[in-house]
Amino acid sequence: MMKKILIAVIFLVCFTAVNAQQKLNWTYTAKSLGNNKYELHLVATPPPGWHIYSMLTPDGGPIPTTFKFNQNALLSMQGKVKEKGKVVTYFDKNFKVDVKYFEGQAQFVQVVTVKGKIKTNISGEIESMICNDRTCMPPTTEKFNIALN
């Protein structure tokens, strides 16, 4: 009996450890467009076999990727965040909606203008969720801070 319990505990710990390692890798860059404009690139790279959901995933489905930018009086946002990457759309029988996710790397782009020739930063948070064909990780919130020089 003790041997079965020990094997079950070891299996549970190993399974949890493997799943706990599954997280997105985020990178952040700012590309100068001239005239105090910058193109921000927030790039998500999921582990192999996992995917991140589109910002356009409808209500009732998995958690869509969302961005919250902190207020900065020295900046103005130009439009909304745009998505780049290979988007897969399919009807999910569990959620009963058309789900959209990125196959491989997902790139999110936001253009901002700095008011004047000064150095500043833009910061905020990203909420996202990753899944594979069998399971999903809980949604996570990632903070970012990008220098604009």
DSSP the chain: -HHHHHHHHHHHHHHHHHHHT---EEEEEEEEEETTEEEEEEEEEPPTT-EEE-TTPPTTSSPPPEEEEPP-TTEEEEEEEEEEEEEEEEEETTTTEEEEEEEEEEEEEEEEEESSS--EEEEEEEEE-EE-SS-BPPPEEEEEEEEE-
The larger pLDDT score, comparing residue 75 to residue 17, is at: 75
In a domain, 86, yes or no: yes
In a domain, 79, yes or no: yes
In a domain, 11, yes or no: no
Please determine, for residue 21, whether its predicted confidence score (pLDDT) is greater than 80: no
In a domain, 10, yes or no: no
In a domain, 61, yes or no: yes
Domain span at 44? 24-148
pTM higher than 0.95 for the full model? no
In a domain, 143, yes or no: yes
In a domain, 7, yes or no: no
> pLDDT (tens digit, 9 = 90+) per residue, 26-59?
999 999 999 999 999 999 999 999 999 999 999 9
In a domain, 121, yes or no: yes
Question: Based on the structure, what is the number of domains in the chain?
Answer: 1
CATH of the domain at 131: 2.60.40.1250
